[in-house]
Amino acid sequence: MTTDSSDAVVSMPAVYVSDPVHVDVLRGLEAWARVFLGYGADAVDYVDVRSYVDAVLLRGEAFTAEMIVASPRLKIIARHGVGTDNVDLRAAADHGIWVTVTPGANSRAVAELVFALTLSLVRNVSSATAFARSRSWDELRGGLTGVEISGRVLGLIGFGRIGQAVLEIARGGFGMPVLVHDPFVERGVIEGLGGRCVGLDELLGGSDIVSLHLPLVDSTRKIMGREELRSMRPGSFLVNTARGELVDEAALVECLRNGPLAGAALDVVEHEPDSGGGLGAGELLGAPLDNVLVTPHIGAQTAESMLRVGRAAVASIWQALNGDVPDGVVVAPGRTMSA
C-alpha cells in the first residue's frame, strides 16, 4: 500500500494479506484498514510488519508459533478457506488470538472440480488433448476409449459441506449410487440426503470412484495407505481435492502401476511447492504415470468462490477487531487447545 503518515491512516487497523484475494475483497478491506500484501509488486515480508499488524487474512502461507509470538498486536488469523493445518492453533490459543475459517463458502467450487477431474480422468481428456496436438486423429480412436460415470458407485470418505455438495451433483446429475463413510455424521443425515452409510472397508471395495473430503488431523493422515488402496475395487479411481497428506503417495504410485487402481486425480499433493518438499515425491507427475491428473490446488479457485470466501474472512476480521465474536471460530481467546 502507499504509505500515508496522517493520523487517520495510522489509526486504521493493519491487516496482512498473505496471498492473492478477489480484487473486490481487497478494495473493500482497503476502505477501512491499512493493507499489507505478501504478494505482487508491493509485496512485503511479514517480518517487516509483524510489530503492528492487527489481523492476518491467510491463504496458503504457513503461520508458525514464531510468527505468532512476534506479533504483539495480532488479534485474529482469518483463514481464506476451511483448512487450518497451516496455522499453529495451540500458539494462537496460548496468545489469545482468534482463528477463523469460512465454512461452506467454497463448497460448490470444490464439488464441481471433483467432477471436472473425474470426467477428465475417466474420459482420458489430458491424453486426448496431447494426442490431438501431435498425431493424426485417425490414430486416436481405439487407445482413448473411456468409461461413463452415470450409474457408477461413488464413495465419499468425509461428509461435510463439500461431501454433501458432491453427493447432490452425483445423484442429481449422473444418477450415481453414493456410499458414505464418516463416523462423525449421523446415519439419518446421510440417508436423508440420499447416501448409504457404510464402513470404510465396504466403501473401498464397493466403489468405482472414491473421493476424499476430510480435514487433515492426526487420525486422518495417510488414511489412504497401502492396505486401503490395495482394497479398492479393481479398475477404480481415486480423487483427492482435500489434503495431500491423506494419501500415502508411495503406495498410490505402486497401486497405479500394478493395480488395482485405474487412475487418480489429485488437486493436492503431500509436498506442494511452497511447503519445502518435492511435488508429490517427484513421481506423481512422472512420465510413466499417464493415468494420473494433478492440478495445483485450484479447488476453490473460481471467481464466485474467491469473492464469497474473501468477504466471509474479511467479515470475521471486522467482527474481531470491533470486539465481537467473529464467524467461523476455530480458536477463541482464553480457550486452551486440548492435547
pTM: 0.86
Determine the 3-state secondary structure of 162 from DSSP.
helix
Grid cell listed for 159 = 461428509
Report CA Rg, the chain.
Answer: 22
Q: For residue 339, is pLDDT > 60? A: no
CA geometry: angle 54, 62, 336, nearest 5 deg: 65
Q: Which of 50, 47, 9, 44 lies closest to 30, judged by CA?
A: 9
Instruction: Give me the domains of the chain, ranges plus CATH numbers.
Output: 7-105+303-331 (3.40.50.720), 107-294 (3.40.50.720)
Hey, which residues does 37 pair with through a beta bridge? 17
Examine the residue annotation and report whether 181 is marked as an active-site residue of this protein.
no
Burial of 123 (0-12, 13-18, 19+ CB in 10 A): middle
* Residue 210 backbone dihedrals phi, psi, to 5 degrees: -115, 125
Q: For residue 279, is pLDDT > 90? A: no
pLDDT confidence band for 11 (50 / 70 / 90): confident
Examine the residue annotation and report whether 243 is marked as an active-site residue of this protein.
yes
Residue 144 confidence (pLDDT): 85
Cα–Cα distance, 38 to 282 (Å, whole number): 28
Q: For residue 236, is pLDDT > 60? A: yes
Summarize the chain as % helix, strand, coil (round to 5): 40, 15, 45
Q: Which of 162, 160, 165, 170 lies closest to 118, judged by CA?
A: 170
* Strands lying side by side in the sheet with 154-157: 196-197, 178-181, 154-157, 209-212, 236-240, 261-266, 292-294
What count of Cα atoms within 13 Å lies in the side-chain half-sphere of residue 323?
0
Q: What percent of the chain lies above the pLDDT cut of 70?
A: 89
Q: Cell 445423484 appears where? A: 171
Q: For residue 5, is pLDDT > 50? A: no
Question: Pick the catalytic residue: 30, 112, 254, 272?
Answer: 272
51-90 pLDDT, tens digit each: 999 999 999 899 999 999 999 999 999 999 988 989 999 9
DSSP string, 234-262: TTEEEEE-S-GGGB-HHHHHHHHHHSSEE
What is the rounded (10 degree) CA torsion for 167, 308, 300, 178? 0
Grid cell listed for 47 = 517480518
pLDDT confidence band for 130 (50 / 70 / 90): confident
Residue 336: Cβ within 10 Å count? 9
Residue 338 confidence (pLDDT): 42
Looking at this protein, which amino acid is placed at residue 10?
V
Question: Pick the catalytic residue: 152, 297, 308, 311?
Answer: 297
Q: What percent of the chain lies above the pLDDT cut of 90?
A: 79
Q: For residue 255, is pLDDT > 60? A: yes
Grid cell listed for 339 = 492435547
Question: Pick the catalytic residue: 80, 243, 308, 311?
Answer: 243
Examine the residue annotation and report whether 297 is marked as an active-site residue of this protein.
yes
Q: For residue 263, is pLDDT > 50? A: yes
Q: For residue 2, is pLDDT > 50? A: no
